[in-house]
Amino acid sequence: METDEWNARIVGPLNEWLESGAVDGGIEQTLGYLVELGNSAEPADRDGVVNSIKALCKGKAGSPFGRRGKPPALPPAALAVSDEVGAIVANAMAEAFDSNSAIQAVILRHGRSKGSRHYADGAAFGKSMAKTAQGVIKAAHKDGGWDGSLDGLLSTIDLSDEEE
């Protein structure tokens, strides 16, 4: 991996994520060592360092690596908040869904969904609600209504009942 690509695709996103405070000290220190190693390595030898960085970051809230497809639409700090809120929504909705089988009878999947109209279990319902919540979060960030922080997200709550 050439130096420009290394800096743009690995070091830049990694540093933004580390600055967000979403990573604990031990992992942050290890990632710092890996970046130093990659900076001093020959371009042809960086692939191993990149794989190590991605493996260490995979599955962590807000990680800029370990996701398929395009890079995340949110900056790392906002992505960490989005992942955290998504997990909260998924768990809360799954627990509520599983608390009474009558909920499974009346809460249906989208009309265009293939297969059964009913969610298989609370985890499936929670995952669907988390995806919806994260879509709202991305839209709020895109239109400038949210600064990327948890406090900023909470400040977007508007309980006014005025109709336009």
pLDDT digits (tens, 9 = 90+) for 122-158: 999 999 999 999 999 999 999 888 988 889 988 888 8
CB atoms within 10 A of CB 32: 13
What are the tens digits of pLDDT across the range 62-110?
Answer: 788 866 667 778 887 888 889 899 999 999 999 999 999 899 899 988 8
Q: Residue 29 sits in which domain range? A: 3-57
Number of domains composing the chain:
2
User: 134 in a domain, yes or no?
Assistant: yes
User: 67 in a domain, yes or no?
Assistant: no
Q: Distance of CA 91 to CAs 61, 78, 95, 106, 129, Å?
A: 15, 20, 6, 19, 10
User: 159 in a domain, yes or no?
Assistant: no
User: 63 in a domain, yes or no?
Assistant: no
43, 112: one domain: no
